[in-house]
């Protein structure tokens, strides 16, 4: 079977809601990572056969095919096509998998998988029509599952209850996410993956954004414990949930033929692509079972995986994943996760891949596994080999 290789993986540093990246149009944010991929790899931009852009909030400035608009805002020629996809939080991880499938099938040789989300400029829920009473869930869906709607917050609380997680356990996990992110940032661990974004400060001063804005350097067990609960009787707080974030990310996926023709050096090989669906009510538990399937298909055990990136949508998700898989907590989200670094929805898949591959290479690891819980009870798993 043909192989798919990753030549480079980049991301912007995360911007807090209404923070340093909020003045950047999403198309320009996406263009920044597309330009960086071309500049860093030296690929002829005219050789790029497609850009697959993940984005969840496809409304307002992210409407009308934001992937194509990112290309038009970049230095790529307008001969480069693009498509925008939505698999909720796994959108750009799915973009990687679609790109890999195109390369492995032999139908394309050079594809950029990317993601963009400006949650400041296009807030969550923007795609719903206010006051219309319209629901994306038909009567048949509501009747089948016995609910009026699906909520990730409810799902996260259900996972915490099912797996016996207390607030104290979740707070401890959230604090560790910040501690790891602080160590990674101060230790320069993100230097190989973050690309600078030119911004203008509120006073009109030009600046460059290069550091994740959401990290709480002053976080303590006491400050975590002081954050109010998201719902009465629950255990989750904003401090144990992923942060609303602006950001973009991109990965260049190519064939072996393209490596030779364009004199490219790969940094990773894609080993396994898995997507599964499960219970849409508890919703966020599916990465547990998707990982089982991915490992079985790859003929691997969890112990053979050197590092794992499990998106920290809410603290119960990676904790439940650890308990289910028997994975080593020391190998999980080693540079912190979305609780500290943020979760720019459609950009998180390629963002986590950038962090995973560069961390593997820095630490001398071989295999990495990335998984993402997604709205609707879905999960992607991607296994890579660092080269």
- Residue 89 among the catalytic residues: yes
Residue with token string 């608009």: 69
- Residue 373 among the catalytic residues: yes
- Residue 70 among the catalytic residues: no
Could you tell me if residue 41 is left (phi over 0), alpha (psi between -120 and 50 degrees) or otherwise beta?
A: alpha
Bridge-based pairing state of the strands 82-85 and 50-54 = parallel
- Among residues 178, 209, 343, 358, the one annotated as catalytic is 343
Enumerate residues 6+ apart whose C-beta is below 8 A from 273: 97, 100, 101, 381, 382
Phi, psi of 385 (to 5 degrees): -115, 120
How far is it, in rounded angstroms, from Cα 356 to Cα 308?
Answer: 7
Residue 12's SS3 state is: coil
Rounded alpha-carbon distances, angstroms, from residue 178 to 44, 190, 324, 359: 39, 14, 24, 17
How far is it, in rounded angstroms, from Cα 329 to Cα 319?
Answer: 9
Rounded alpha-carbon distances, angstroms, from residue 335 to 253, 358, 376, 384: 24, 11, 28, 18
How far is it, in rounded angstroms, from Cα 146 to Cα 144?
Answer: 6
Residue 94's SS3 state is: helix
- Among residues 70, 89, 178, 209, the one annotated as catalytic is 89
Q: Which pair of tokens denotes residue 140? A: 């048949």
User: Which segments of the chain does DSSP mark as H helices, in order?
Assistant: 26-41, 66-73, 91-105, 139-145, 152-163, 167-186, 221-225, 256-261, 286-298, 316-325, 338-341, 348-363
Which residues are tagged catalytic?
A: 89, 343, 373
């Amino acid at each position: 079977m043909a192989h798919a290789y990753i030549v480079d993986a980049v991301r912007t540093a995360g911007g807090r809601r209404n923070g340093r990246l909020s003045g950047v149009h999403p198309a320009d944010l996406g263009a920044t990572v597309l330009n960086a991929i071309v500049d860093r790899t030296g690929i002829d931009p005219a050789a790029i056969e497609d850009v697959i852009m993940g984005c969840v909030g496809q409304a307002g400035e992210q409407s009308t095919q934001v992937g194509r608009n990112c290309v038009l805002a970049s230095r790529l020629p307008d001969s480069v096509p693009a498509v925008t996809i939505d698999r909720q939080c796994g959108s750009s991880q799915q973009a990687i998998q679609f790109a890999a499938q195109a390369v492995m099938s032999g139908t394309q040789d050079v594809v950029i998988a990317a993601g963009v989300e400006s949650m400041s400029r296009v807030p969550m829920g923007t795609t719903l029509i206010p006051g219309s009473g319209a629901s994306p869930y038909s009567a048949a869906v509501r009747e089948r599952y016995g609910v009026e709607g699906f909520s990730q917050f409810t799902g996260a609380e259900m996972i915490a209850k099912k797996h016996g997680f207390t607030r104290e356990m979740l707070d401890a996990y959230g604090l560790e996410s910040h501690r790891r992110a602080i160590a990674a940032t101060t230790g320069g661990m993100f230097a190989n993956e973050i690309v600078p974004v030119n911004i203008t400060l509120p006073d009109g001063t030009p600046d460059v954004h290069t550091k994740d804005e959401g990290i709480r350097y002053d976080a303590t067990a006491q400050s975590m414990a002081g954050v109010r609960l998201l719902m009465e009787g629950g255990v989750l707080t904003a401090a144990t949930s992923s942060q609303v974030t602006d950001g973009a990310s991109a990965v260049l996926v190519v064939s072996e033929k393209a490596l030779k023709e364009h004199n490219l050096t790969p940094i990773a090989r894609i080993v396994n692509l898995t997507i599964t669906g499960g219970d849409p009510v508890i919703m966020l538990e599916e990465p547990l079972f998707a990982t089982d399937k991915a490992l079985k298909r790859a003929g691997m055990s969890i112990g053979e995986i050197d590092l794992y990136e499990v998106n920290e949508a809410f603290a119960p998700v990676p904790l439940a994943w650890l308990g289910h898989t028997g994975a080593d907590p020391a190998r999980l989200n080693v540079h912190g996760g979305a609780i500290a670094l943020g979760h720019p929805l459609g950009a998180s898949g390629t963002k986590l891949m950038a962090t995973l591959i560069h961390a593997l290479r820095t630490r001398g690891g071989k295999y990495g596994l990335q998984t993402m819980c997604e709205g609707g009870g879905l999960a992607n798993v991607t296994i890579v080999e660092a080269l």
